[in-house]
Amino acid sequence: MDTVIENLVHQQLWTDCKIYNEDANLIRGTPPRKLHPEDAQISSEYVLVSHMRDSVSVRGYTKTFQSVHDASRVVHAVIAEDSTIAYYIVYKSLNPPRRN
């Protein structure tokens, strides 16, 4: 998780990044700008951390959303073997496509 926190702070320019729940591999922090154009304002986001070798399932996402009751989405940070980090936004329910 330290690798993701370091990347969020120094590369992605997030602030207030802290481990939210170590057992669930969750970080909480604030991005420098809205993650989606339709967001009302910049707000704190939850980041789920996993490695490429980890299995991901709907059950796992359900547990994550149960541990962060007020969140409608989480940012999923996936760490590759070469330490590259890819970020994905995962919604709690179906979300309509973005309007351009």
Q: What is the largest CA-CA distance in the chain?
A: 38
The answer to whether the pTM exceeds 0.85 is yes
- For residue 89, count other CB atoms closer than 10 A to its CB: 12
For 17, the token pair is 């990044």
The single residue listed with the structure tokens 């973005």 is 98
Domains and CATH numbers, the chain: 2-91 (3.40.1350.10)
Residues in the chain, overall count: 100
69-90: pLDDT as tens digits: 889 999 999 999 999 999 999 9
Per-residue pLDDT of the chain (100 residues; tens, 9 = 90+): 999 999 999 999 999 999 999 999 999 999 999 998 888 999 999 999 999 999 999 999 999 999 998 899 999 999 999 999 999 999 998 877 767 6
Q: Helix, strand, coil: what percent of the chain each, to 5?
A: 20, 35, 50
Are 93 and 71 within 8 A, CB to CB?
Answer: no
